[in-house]
Amino acid sequence: MNLNCLKPTILLVAILLQTVAEAQVSNIKSNVSSDTKSSYTYSKSGKSSCRRSDDNDLMSEIAMGIASGIAWASIEAQKRVLENQSEYPNTVSVEAGLEYGTNLSAQTFSPNVRGNWGIYATDFRYHVLHDHTGSLESLDWQVLILRVPIGNFKANYGIGFTSLLSPKTTYAESTTGFDLSLFKQQLNLSANYRWTFKRNDERYRQEFKLTADYQILQKGKFHLSPMLGVSYQNYFKEDEFWFFNCGVRLRFGR
C-alpha cells in the first residue's frame, strides 16, 4: 500500500479529532450562563426628535399595505396548494423522526414531530448534546414555517425559539432550507440551517444539517423511511461539532 496516498486522509482525520477534543459541552454551558447574565446597555438622551404627522401616516400606510399584500398572497397560495395536492408532495401530513448523531467523542439525540398544512408547517424537537463533560438539553420549536412549493421542491423559512433546560434560558431562533422529493417520493433530500438571534456579541448556536431518507414501507397513508445525514453545530464560535447522523422517519399523510 502506498503510504503517500494515505497522508492526506490521516491529516484530515487528525484535524477532525483535534476539533472534536476541543469542543466541550461544559464550555458551552459556561458561555450560556455568561450570555444570560450580561445586560444590555442603553444610551439615553434628553433630546427628543419630532417627525411630521404626515410622514408617520405615510409610513403606517406603507406598512399596512405590505402586511395586507403578504396576507393576501399567503391566503391565495394556501388555497392553490390545498386544491392541487397531487402537484405538491407531502402537502398535508404529520411526521415524526428519531435521529442519533456521533463523532465518536460526542453524541446528539433528537426526536422531533412536525405538522405540514399547505404552505405552513410547525416543527418541535427535543435536542440533546452530550460529551464527557456533560449534557446540554433544549426544547426547539419552530412555531411557524413558511413553505414555498415548486413541484417536488420546497423552500422553507421558519421562526421560533430554543429553550435550554440547564442553564435555563431561551433564545429566538430561525431556520431556512429546502426539501426535495425524487423518484415518486421514494427518496427525500433535506438541507436545513438554523441560527439563534444574537443576545450580546455572538450567537448561542448555528447548525447546518443535510439528510437523505428513503422510503422502504408504505401502507395507505403511512410511510416508513430510514435516514442518513451529516450535521455541523457551532456554539458561540468557540465549540464546534461534526456529526454523522442516522435515524428513522415516520409520516402519515400525502
Task: Look at 204 and 73; give whichever has higher pLDDT.
Answer: 204
Q: What local confidence, expressed as pLDDT, does residue 11 receive?
A: 52
Domain count, the chain: 1
Q: Reply yes or no on whether the pLDDT at 58 is more than 80.
A: no
Q: Which domain holds residue 214?
A: 83-253
Full-prediction pTM beyond 0.85? no
Residue 117 to residue 229: CA distance in whole angstroms: 25
Residue 142 φ then ψ, to 5°: -85, 100
Residue 236 to residue 206: CA distance in whole angstroms: 8
pLDDT in tens, 41-57: 434 444 444 445 555 66
The reply to whether 190 falls in a domain is yes
Q: What local confidence, expressed as pLDDT, does residue 135 receive?
A: 96
The reply to whether 217 falls in a domain is yes
Q: What is the mean pLDDT of residues 119-134?
A: 95
The reply to whether 53 falls in a domain is no
SS3 per-residue string spanning 104-122: CCCEEEEEEEEEEECCEEE
Q: Reply yes or no on whether the pLDDT at 8 is more than 80.
A: no
Which of 178, 252, 184 shows the shortest CA–CA distance to 221?
252
Q: How far is the CA of 230 from the CAs of 36, 200, 206, in angstroms?
A: 30, 29, 14
- What percent of the chain has a predicted confidence (pLDDT) above 90? 57
Residue 250 φ then ψ, to 5°: -115, 135
CATH of the domain at 246: 2.40.160
